[in-house]
Amino acid sequence: MKNPLSVNYNHIRKGVRFYRWLKHTLYYFLGVKNSIYQPPPENLKEIGNFDSKMLIQTEKKFEKYFSKENLNVDAPERTSYKKNKVSLVYDKGQVLVKKKFTGFRKFNEFYSELICYEKIADLNLTPEIVYVDFKKCHIYMKYIDGINLSVRREGIMEFAQNHEEFIRFQFNKVARLLHANGIIFIDLGTQNLIMKEGRFYIFDFSDAIYFSDIMLKLYPVKRFYLKLVSVEKKLVKEELKLLGLQGKAEIS
């Protein structure tokens, strides 16, 4: 599917990028000082990582923390986990996902992810953030030991069809809640969803755009935002089809 940001709204897109950069800069100078997040303890033990094929690699004694369904199948065509390094650490009896932001978009991606998590923290849609290292641009979140709905998971098609109504409802619910809170995910797909105990969790907001209420009062921005919402609705429908769920997948 065509990237939603490739629509012919270049002037608006540039404005959104500038606004995001400005907002992140203000957050850096103002929000960080009043942050609710604690810095991570020193020398947290790293127990695993995601390799270039998104396979979980971990020490034998920590295997109990990972369900078989959450391991990726070998998919050579799959690119690496973007350019951000994701590893697993052990802290006080719990496993955390440690995400390191790198590259020339490091600043933007780090604050995009953090701001989006904060915006929907009370919706119980995302893993809980435990620590944030603002100097190094690292985010530590609780590891969700559930079933990732990526189409590259072994047996996921059969699993999805056996839980069709629930998965369709939950996926559409997640999309509606994000849009209702001014968030365009950009890469909204099943690979970003984990199902555990009757709940869906979404993660990886590094490419997302958050539109504040003030922004959406500007007609050109509102128009651009609604265009992106429309594209993401179609994307959800296509993702459900990839799971073998061919029925209606409309988002109200």
Domains of the chain by residue range: 17-242
Residues in the chain: 252
**Positions in the chain whose pLDDT score sits under 70:** 1-13, 15-16, 30-34, 50-84, 246-252
Residue 76 confidence (pLDDT): 39
Spell out the CATH class of 17-242: mainly alpha
Per-residue pLDDT of 117-138, as tens digits, reads 989 999 999 999 999 998 888 9
* Range 43-48, long-range pairs (CB < 8 A, 24+ positions): 44/89, 44/90, 44/91, 44/96, 44/98, 45/89, 45/90, 45/91, 46/87, 46/88, 46/89, 46/90, 46/98, 47/88, 47/89, 47/90, 47/95, 48/87, 48/88
Q: CA-CA distance, 21 to 14, in Å (whole number)?
A: 11
